[in-house]
Structure 1
């Protein structure tokens, strides 16, 4: 299902593969771990990014049923109209939390986040089919990825160097 969540270059916003040299004896090749929050961000931005990541994960992917990942947002949206309004409010709370980063979010990114959330709401108003599309669309995870890319954009070189160091570290 992680492949269905891909927004961009086939990346999973919440997990990363464990390098072969860090695998434990009981883990198979390709095992994943929770993606860490970048350390080069300020403490405040790390806290905000972690809050947004946790909220987005709970709203979009916390449950797994027969290989399909869905969250509280999908469950709430099963109630016609009222569930969609509640899901909209939860999505708006996630955007409000994302705006608390140092320096604030640029208006362009805020409007992209609003468009994701409004699209999720509008499609959710369609009975049954809209619920299925919402499960696949994962607007909150998309909003988390927008925030993460914005925060790491200015530090992209540092981020790439950190990834290279992680790959080149000898096993302990």
Structure 2
């Protein structure tokens, strides 16, 4: 049952690191940054092309908040913890505060030009609700909550939506859509692997 929920409802797979991808930072091969080969460097993700300045600022703000809430403090046994995890440890009240902060991130997401479609808002709200309900379980719920990362999932959903909107905006303005999006490192790397170029 859990695998069905993960695969079809939450759309988790190896392509999105099973829902654990970092919304704010990405790792790129160091050879692209003109340093040692066979190593990876971490740097901030680029804003997708075609976005207005306002939407770019909103996306950056959401990604920064999601990173601080879900991943910024420390790592333990490969699990990254943020303020959301620490606050969620407080029984009852911590989970309410955590849900409130997650709704603040959702409210920021809704400030994009033209607002968010209802299906994207519902998916983000479901992430927050699931995060809240699981967080109510003592101790084990807090660990699952740290793994689930509702804010990160919502930031990734916003970025996917804005990436599509940016591509549509470029197309409407008569610009040719590039075969690869240089702001998406996984797409860039996959394309160059297929082409056999360094």
TM-score range relative to shorter protein? 0.7 to 0.9
Correspondence for 2:180: 161
Correspondence for 2:120: 109
Correspondence for 2:173: none
Higher mean displacement: 32-41 or 69-78: 32-41
Q: State TM-score, norm by structure 1.
A: 0.83
Correspondence for 2:16: 10
Please state if 1:147 is matched with 2:158.
Answer: yes
The answer to whether the Cα contact below 8 Å between 2:31 and 2:38 also exists between their aligned partners in 1 is no
Shift in CA distance, 43/72, structure 1 to aligned 2, threshold 3 Å: same
Any residues of structure 2 matched to 1:4-153 within 5 Å, and which? Answer: 7-8=12-13, 9-10=15-16, 12=21, 13=23, 14-18=25-29, 20-24=31-35, 29-66=39-76, 67-153=78-164
1:8-29 per-residue CA deviation (whole Å, 9 max, x = no partner) reads 513533313145132335x862
Q: Which runs of 5+ in 2 are unaligned?
A: 1-10, 169-175, 183-187
State the Cα distance separating 1:30 from its structure 2 match: 2.1
State the Cα distance separating 1:148 from its structure 2 match: 0.4
CA distance in structure 1 between the partners assigned to 2:179 and 2:103 by the alignment: 32
Q: State TM-score, norm by structure 2.
A: 0.73
CA distance in structure 1 between the partners assigned to 2:121 and 2:130 by the alignment: 14
The answer to whether the Cα contact below 8 Å between 2:47 and 2:60 also exists between their aligned partners in 1 is yes
Higher mean displacement: 63-72 or 44-53: 63-72
For this pair of structures, how many residues does the alignment match? 163
State the Cα distance separating 1:7 from its structure 2 match: 4.8
The answer to whether the Cα contact below 8 Å between 1:152 and 1:159 also exists between their aligned partners in 2 is no
Shift in CA distance, 35/71, structure 1 to aligned 2, threshold 3 Å: same
The answer to whether the Cα contact below 8 Å between 2:69 and 2:82 also exists between their aligned partners in 1 is yes
CA distance in structure 2 between the partners assigned to 1:139 and 1:147 by the alignment: 12
